[in-house]
């Protein structure tokens, strides 16, 4: 369970995020939607303790994220390309992340093998460094690395951006399966309304740092979101 408690972030006088309370129960797939500058990435960065909130606190499975680092053991994340180590090959990168997450070589190999279809022969065995891969392929590697080591919480910022249509569809399947047995809490942000509504049980809309909508996903959700954003 993740509790976001009166989190705000101000830079000078500009308030970029001001969230009262959001509670994300275990096993929920949580979608964050909003236009540019709505504060999605800022919220995720605070959740991952990469920036400090001006006020408030976030607890991740009873761990307050900016006082203890224990949350790192059960949280996998991919925010942007800066999460990749450019001079490694994808295999070496998975091995490195696997090492940090307590997986041995065989574990890593078995885990990676599950994503053969998702990788579509463009990641493994290519003898290329991550920095030389295309944006989409970098993203694939980053997302899979975020899923390594049985995380309880997975945080993905804009996972669908830059992916080709086939991979988008495959990713949706992977994410849905991930939360099937309600063990893993998934947080994604996206600009693509139809993708998030398909993947997420719950959607929160941010606008200029404030929560303006908090909806349980239903058949009507996509229409509702579309009408909100076209207004």
Total chain residues near other proteins (CB under 8 A): 32
What is the token pair recorded at 215?
């909806």
From the CB of 223, what's the least distance to other proteins, in Å? 36
Taking the least distance from each CB to other proteins, the nearer of 88 and 222 is 88
Q: Does 72 bind other proteins (CB under 8 A)?
A: yes
Taking the least distance from each CB to other proteins, the nearer of 42 and 197 is 42
According to CB under 8 A, which one of 23, 62, 69, 226 is a site residue for other proteins?
69
How far is residue 29 from each of residues 2, 163, 172, 199, 200, measured CA to CA in Å? 12, 20, 12, 7, 5
The DSSP secondary-structure symbol of 24 reads: E
Taking the least distance from each CB to other proteins, the nearer of 33 and 157 is 157
From the CB of 51, what's the least distance to other proteins, in Å? 6
Q: Does 88 bind other proteins (CB under 8 A)?
A: yes
The residues in 100-119 that bind other proteins, with binding defined as CB under 8 A, are 100-101
Stretch that binds other proteins, among 91-99, 175-183, 185-193, 212-220 (CB under 8 A): 91-99
Long-range contacts of range 211-219, CB-CB < 8 Å, 24 or more positions apart?
A: 211/19, 211/20, 211/22, 214/22, 217/31
Q: Does 82 bind other proteins (CB under 8 A)?
A: yes
Q: Give every CB contact of residue 31 below 8 A, 6+ residues apart in sequence.
A: 188, 189, 190, 196, 197, 199, 200, 202, 203, 204, 217
What is the token pair recorded at 33?
């939607």
* Closest of 148, 140, 81 to residue 111, by C-alpha: 148
Q: Can you give the binding site for other proteins, defined by CB under 8 A?
A: 48-52, 69, 72-73, 75, 77, 79, 82-89, 91-92, 95-97, 99-101, 127-129, 131-132
């Amino acid at each position: 369970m993740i509790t976001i408690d009166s989190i705000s972030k101000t830079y000078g006088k500009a308030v970029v995020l001001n969230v009262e309370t959001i509670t994300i129960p275990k096993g929920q797939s949580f979608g964050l939607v909003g236009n540019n500058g709505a504060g999605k990435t800022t919220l995720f960065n605070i959740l991952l303790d990469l920036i400090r909130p001006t006020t408030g606190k976030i607890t991740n499975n009873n761990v307050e994220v900016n006082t203890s680092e224990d949350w790192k053991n059960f949280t996998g994340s991919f925010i942007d390309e800066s999460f990749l180590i450019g001079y490694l090959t994808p295999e070496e990168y998975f091995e490195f992340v696997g090492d940090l997450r307590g997986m041995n070589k065989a574990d890593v190999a078995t885990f990676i093998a599950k994503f053969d279809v998702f990788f579509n022969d463009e990641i493994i065995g290519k003898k290329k460094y991550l920095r030389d891969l295309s944006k989409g392929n970098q993203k694939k590697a980053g997302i899979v690395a975020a899923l390594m080591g049985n995380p309880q919480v997975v945080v993905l910022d804009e996972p669908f951006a830059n992916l080709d249509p086939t991979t988008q569809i495959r990713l949706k399947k992977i994410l849905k399966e991930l939360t099937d047995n309600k063990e893993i809490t998934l947080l994604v942000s996206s600009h693509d309304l139809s993708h998030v509504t398909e993947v997420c049980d719950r959607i929160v809309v941010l606008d200029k740092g404030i929560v303006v909508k908090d909806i349980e996903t239903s058949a009507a959700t996509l229409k509702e979101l579309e009408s909100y954003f076209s207004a």
